[in-house]
Amino acid sequence: MAKKPLLCWLLLLAVLAEAGASDEDGAELDYSKLSGIIIPGFASTQLRAWSILDCPYSPLDFNPLDLVWLDTTKLLSAVNCWLKCMVLDPYNQTDHPDCKSRPDSGLSGITELDPGYITGPLSSVWKEWIKWCIEFGIEANAIIAVPYDWRLSPSKLEERDLYFHKLKITFETAYKLRGGPSLVFAHSLGNHVFRYFLEWLKLEIAPKHYIQWLDQHIRAYFAVGAPLLGAMETIEATLSGFTFGLPISEGTARMMFNSFGSSLWMMPFSKYCRTDNKYWKHFSGGSHVGPQTYHCDEQEFKTNLSGWPTKIINIEIPSTREIPEANLSSMECGLPTQLSFSAREISDGTFFKAIEDYDPDSKRLLYLLEKSYLGDPVLNPLTPWDRPPIKNVFCIYGTDSKTKVGYYYAPSGKPYPDNWIITDVVYEFEGSLISRSGNQVEGNPGAISGDETVPYLSLSWCKNWLGPKVNITKAPQSEHDGSDVQIKLNVKHPHEEDIVPNMTRSPRVKYITYYEDSESLPGKRTAVWELDKANHRNIVRSPVLMRELWLEMWHDIHPDANSKFVKKAKRGPLRDEDCYWDYGKARCAWPEYCEYRYVFGDVHLGQSCSFFTPGADMITFWQCFLLDDTLHMNTRITPSYNHDFWSLAIL
């Protein structure tokens, strides 16, 4: 038992003896100089009161710096007061006259939304992520959170808070503080924020220095759960309200959500339609002439589904006015007319124009859509992504969960905001489309479903960023010895076509599938990770994701690693949580790494299985194991006759 930690210490010393690693263009790379910058998703940042608000009929008032999002105690006791601190003017996105709120700053603003013994774990967002960083020895100043007011549209973020100016300064400060570039970790809406930042930066920096700035300040971009083509729950929140589990009515949730400038930021849109950038000539050294133009490829009109599995919105409205024939699916005299809308018709405003006589919110949303999105001078976010011009891009998301891809709405007979009711929902699951009642639905389903919140089509758009040849690896998410790892090399990848490997799988095993560039541009790496059953909101808490990120970083740090990506041959335990009891062998599994060590309070055998090295030495032990596992396929250990210990020999 004592030999293994000693061996690890010596191996680690041999690695640390190297001055640093080099990237593909020859520059020295020292990962002790890296920073991690976290961009949280929608509703994942605390908002605090920035004014005084007396709440009648409640003992709880709002004072400056009081928690607004999320304080469930005040929400329950004074919901009307709480709403005043949350809603914005839907036209100019200003605060309510009686109360204003602003985003919290630092890591504390994103770890737990509602701290408390009971509410804390339920509202935890990035807490586990930061805990991993601490356990693995990451310095305090190496992790930087960049919270933002997730209620605002992208242009308003800059206009009101100078958010993108501050984000640029954050990257530059991190570089000066630690001496190296940053790793960007963005989740959900945070990916749209980062995309807008990259476009905004083009107008801030001289075109010839743009790529140079990116290479200097950003080493890698990890896009986690990115709704690259939008998300369906945005539709539900807009038309009927989505409470996110809060103790408020759906109508109240709808009014609040539709007051936010960000309410349209994740609307689904067509993958075949794009907007010419107003300032593309600025980037190429010319000057802008003429307005923005929105154009779609011929494929958009062949199926009229915008590439999605089905029509996104099917809605009944009174047949008292003329409706364009292109939208008519059925019409009978005296009966409501059912209209169907594709992603393109949602993102270009056709849908909101069609229902503006029947819904007061549609006029406000149409105004917001045209001013803050279609007319945004930096970027129309409702257009498909291209690969960000960053050296290393990793796109990570969950799959194989039942995910909404379409809605059926009808008038409820109630006044606004409860005037619409969901009559049916279409889900994608296991390669088919099914309704809420379990009936099969016609359409164009993909082979894989999404992460329960974002459809697979939207999540997997980043596969288009991969090169013409891709290496595919499917491995179990849990600890394994490599016997269930499947690999396909140099798989051809036609442009804008999905890759679905024909690999066997055990029905009881959760897998992670890696799609990694076999051929890529010099100095560029692109990878896509698909995690079975990983939930959209909880993926940032996933120990599997943290393990793979950690291995990827340790792969890059080693100066003699001769592969672009981490080998997947073996995954052993890294923490106490990974050790468990093997009932078949009546011992702790992975006996070379885990031992039985009872601690008072353990209620089952698995709790008593612990990693070998306790205390501070555990970090060193982990680091050594990661190094050994990372280079499993291209490392051998041989005796050195010039020293008293074993040394690494890299093949």
> Using CA atoms, how far apart are residues 602 and 604, in angstroms rounded to an integer?
6
User: For residue 451, what are the CA distances in angstroms to 397, 404, 418, 428?
Assistant: 7, 10, 28, 10
Residue with tokens 């007979």: 413
Residue with tokens 């300032």: 279
Strand partners, 337: 317
Cα dihedral angle (557, 459, 484, 636), rounded to 10 degrees? -10
Residue 639: enclosing H or E segment and its boundaries? strand 635-639
Q: Coil, helix or strand for 84?
A: helix
Token pair, residue 160, equals 């009101």
Closest CA to 625 of 41, 8, 2: 8
Question: b/e per residue, 244-268, with b = 16+ CB within 10 A?
Answer: eeeebebbbbbbbbbbbbbbbbbbb
Please answer whether residues 508 and 533 qualify as being in contact, where contact means their C-beta atoms are separated by less than 8 angstroms. no
Q: Coil, helix or strand for 334?
A: coil
User: For residue 567, what are the CA distances in angstroms to 173, 264, 332, 510, 548?
Assistant: 34, 40, 62, 19, 11
Q: What is the pLDDT of residue 625?
A: 43
> Using CA atoms, how far apart are residues 583 and 599, in angstroms rounded to an integer?
19
> Using CA atoms, how far apart are residues 144 and 35, in angstroms rounded to an integer?
7
Burial of 339 (0-12, 13-18, 19+ CB in 10 A): buried
Type of residue at 531: L
Phi, psi of 487 (to 5 degrees): -135, 135
Please answer whether residues 431 and 445 qualify as being in contact, where contact means their C-beta atoms are separated by less than 8 angstroms. yes
User: For residue 107, what are the CA distances in angstroms to 193, 457, 539, 540?
Assistant: 18, 32, 18, 15
pLDDT digits (tens, 9 = 90+) for 496-505: 788 888 888 8
Percent of the chain with pLDDT over 90: 54
> Using CA atoms, how far apart are residues 466 and 469, in angstroms rounded to an integer?
8
Q: What is the pLDDT of residue 636?
A: 29
Q: E strands of 126-271, at which residues?
A: 143-145, 182-187, 218-224
> Using CA atoms, how far apart are residues 200 and 9, in angstroms rounded to an integer?
46
Token pair, residue 523, equals 């100095």
Closest CA to 40 of 196, 199, 257, 194: 194
Please answer whether residues 184 and 194 qualify as being in contact, where contact means their C-beta atoms are separated by less than 8 angstroms. yes
Distance spanning both ends of the chain, measured CA to CA:
28
Type of residue at 20: G
Task: Give the β-pairing of 28-29 and 21-22.
Answer: antiparallel
Token pair, residue 388, equals 């960000």
Question: b/e per residue, 95-127, with b = 16+ CB within 10 A?
Answer: bbeebbbbbbeebebbbbbbbeeebeeebbbbb
What does R_g of the chain's alpha carbons equal in angstroms?
Answer: 26
Q: Which residues, 6+ apart, have CB-to-CB distance to 629 below 8 Å?
A: 551, 570, 571, 572
Q: What is the pLDDT of residue 344?
A: 94
Maximal C-alpha separation, the chain: 94
Type of residue at 323: I
Q: What is the pLDDT of residue 534?
A: 94
Is omega for the bond preceding 56 within 30 degrees of 0, making it cis?
no
Please answer whether residues 511 and 503 qualify as being in contact, where contact means their C-beta atoms are separated by less than 8 angstroms. no
What is the DSSP secondary structure assignment for residue 51, as one 8-state letter? S
What is the DSSP secondary structure assignment for residue 58, as one 8-state letter? -
| One-character DSSP codes across 89-155 | -TTT-PBBTTB-EEE--STHHHHBSS-STTHHHHTBSSHHHHHHHHHTT--GGGEEE----TTS-HH
| Residues annotated catalytic, as ranges | 188, 451, 495
- The parts of the chain modelled with pLDDT lower than 70 are 1-31, 117-118, 277-293, 319-334, 557-561, 613-651
> Using CA atoms, how far apart are residues 174 and 379, in angstroms rounded to an integer?
26
> Using CA atoms, how far apart are residues 199 and 378, in angstroms rounded to an integer?
6
Token pair, residue 158, equals 């800059």
Q: How many residues does the chain have?
A: 651
Closest CA to 473 of 459, 457, 484, 481: 484
pLDDT digits (tens, 9 = 90+) for 149-196: 999 999 999 999 999 999 999 999 999 999 999 999 999 999 999 999
Please answer whether residues 400 and 451 qualify as being in contact, where contact means their C-beta atoms are separated by less than 8 angstroms. no
> Using CA atoms, how far apart are residues 549 and 322, in angstroms rounded to an integer?
55
Q: CATH 3.40.50.1820 spans which residues of the chain?
A: 31-46+104-224
Token pair, residue 26, equals 């020859």
Domain 31-46+104-224: top CATH class: alpha beta
Type of residue at 390: I
> Using CA atoms, how far apart are residues 366 and 361, in angstroms rounded to an integer?
9
> Using CA atoms, how far apart are residues 221 and 37, in angstroms rounded to an integer?
10
**Torsion over CA: 591, 592, 597, 601 (sign):** negative
Token pair, residue 277, equals 């950038």
Residue 550: enclosing H or E segment and its boundaries? helix 543-557
